[in-house]
Chain A
Amino acid sequence: MTDIAIRDLTKRFGPVTAVDRLTVDLTPGVTGFLGPNGAGKSTTLRMILGLIRPSGGTALIGGRHYADLDHPRRTVGAMLEASGAHPGRTGRQHLRVAARLADLPDARVGVVLDQVGLSAAADRRVGGYSLGMRQRLGLAAALLGDPPVLVLDEPANGLDPAGMAWLRGLLRDLAAQGRTIVVSSHVLAEVAQTADRVVIVHDGTVRYAGPLTDLSGPAGLESEFLRLTTGSTR
């Protein structure tokens, strides 16, 4: 059971404040991290993972900064929107590099390939993969360390309806094992069936955090989401 505690997290890029004193706790189960494009979701996730240096505030995983984790890949698995793979390498080679880099046994590569249903295509070059297959490869990399925390930035991008259903099942299974899973999306419907709770971000601040069931106002879920994520607070 590992929590992510975010306190007053702030990031300024020059004159633009992308994330503004964001405070929230992310606990075991699936949390939908929602907001329109440009709301600060990706920046927040990247600050949790130590890829972007905060201008202020902290993001701690089980009480520690990402860079201070003993085995980062065994603690947190991440799949970011911009995660890529060298097109000339096969899926299996890509994961073997990732496993070696994180000091994980080679045997994990076959396990995660099975887990994401990519075994049949594992020895083909990534350059020939569809977007959906790349997403599966990204998920496989995130799962390599069998981590208690998963941070997934727009994992449903490029998946067909069958792929979406598969992803929902996978996330539910992983959450049932007590993992803390954060899934970002700009489409409410994508996470509505999977998330135990949602965090809605707009203009770099939290507009709502709590169970999905408490969110639906008199006009319904979708319009409540739209109401929270349009207009400026500043």
Chain B
Amino acid sequence: MTAILAAEWLRLRTTRGAWLLLAAAQLIIVLGVSGLMLRGDNLADPGVQQQAVAHLGLVSLFTLVLGITAVAGEHRHRTVSDTYLAVPRRARVVLAKLAVYTAAGLGFGLAAAISALSSTAVWLTVRGETIQFDNTDLWRTVAGGIAWNAVFAALGVGVGALITNQIGAIATALAWLALIEGLVGQLIGDARKWLPFALGSALDRLPTATDGPAQWVAGLVLLGYAAAFTAAAVLTTTRRDVT
């Protein structure tokens, strides 16, 4: 199993797309923080500062895409046959990818946290304020945002293993986040807070997640989603004919 983990890690490091996603995510964070800091009024308010830093969780969209490419990318570039020839027990492949990409999502979240905190601090200095590092809520958002990045990477691995057409999988995931979750939410009423993006928002303590579950509950339920997707992914992956 260590050999497979090492191989997946090498594979991830030598994929330019992963580094491009990482770079793009930092730009998005700086953009989001800047918008708030440029237009905001009471920047000394700890709540506003926390809101700025919370942008780190939104780039979990990128870790979701990264996770999708783990398996779907192998189908796209037709390397999946070779992978299963080296490791005929395909469940091991899926689990190794899950481990490596969740770790990568964690690293992604850490980088995002550093970008969000530093760009917020810089903007506050420019505007003649200081960031309040003794604000517990700020650090809860940092922790939750990092966790959101990691768990969405894991979720992505499951999605990509279930929908092996990479374009289809990414389009489905983005459509879910941008449109479908909102539409489904209207149908199911209060239960909408248990849908993935709403849970991520609660985990990151976004201002939009006021009626969501407690932070730790949101994290646990998201882990449940990731576990369910992984189980489904392992089942379909081991049965599928690779033509």
A-B contact count (CB 8 A): 85
Kindly identify which residue among A66, A82, A103 contacts B78, using a CB–CB cutoff of 8 Å.
A82
Q: For the complex, give the distance between the alpha carbons of A49 and B87 in Å.
A: 11
The 0/1 profile, CB within 8 Å of A marked 1, for residues 215-243 of chain B is 00000000000000000000000010111
Interface SS majority for chain B: helix
The residue of chain B having its C-beta at the shortest distance from the C-beta of A18 within the complex is: B243
Find out whether the CB atom of B239 lies under 8 angstroms from the CB atom of A51.
no
B89 CB–A CB distance under 8 Å:
yes
B3 CB–A CB distance under 8 Å:
yes
Give chain A interface residues in 77-127, CB to chain B under 8 Å. Answer: 78, 80, 82-89, 93, 96-98, 100-103
Find out whether the CB atom of B242 lies under 8 angstroms from the CB atom of A46.
yes
A67 CB–B CB distance under 8 Å:
yes
The residue of chain A having its C-beta at the shortest distance from the C-beta of B89 within the complex is: A67
Find out whether the CB atom of B241 lies under 8 angstroms from the CB atom of A52.
yes
B interface residues, tally (CB under 8 Å): 27
Kindly identify which residue among B11, B16, B85 contacts A51, using a CB–CB cutoff of 8 Å.
B85
| A: contact size bracket | 20 to 34
Known: A78-B85, A80-B81. A89 touches B14 (CB 8 A): yes
A73 CB–B CB distance under 8 Å:
yes
Find out whether the CB atom of B86 lies under 8 angstroms from the CB atom of A101.
yes
Known: A51-B241, A52-B241, A89-B14. A84 touches B79 (CB 8 A): yes
Q: For the complex, give the distance between the alpha carbons of A93 and B6 in Å.
A: 13
Q: For the complex, give the distance between the alpha carbons of A159 and B241 in Å.
A: 29
Query: B-contacting residues of A (Cβ < 8 Å)?
Result: 42-43, 46, 49-53, 66-67, 69, 72-73, 76, 78, 80, 82-89, 93, 96-98, 100-103, 141
Extra A-B contacts (6), CB below 8 Å, given A72-B88, A101-B4, A102-B86: A42-B243, A50-B84, A52-B243, A53-B239, A73-B85, A86-B73
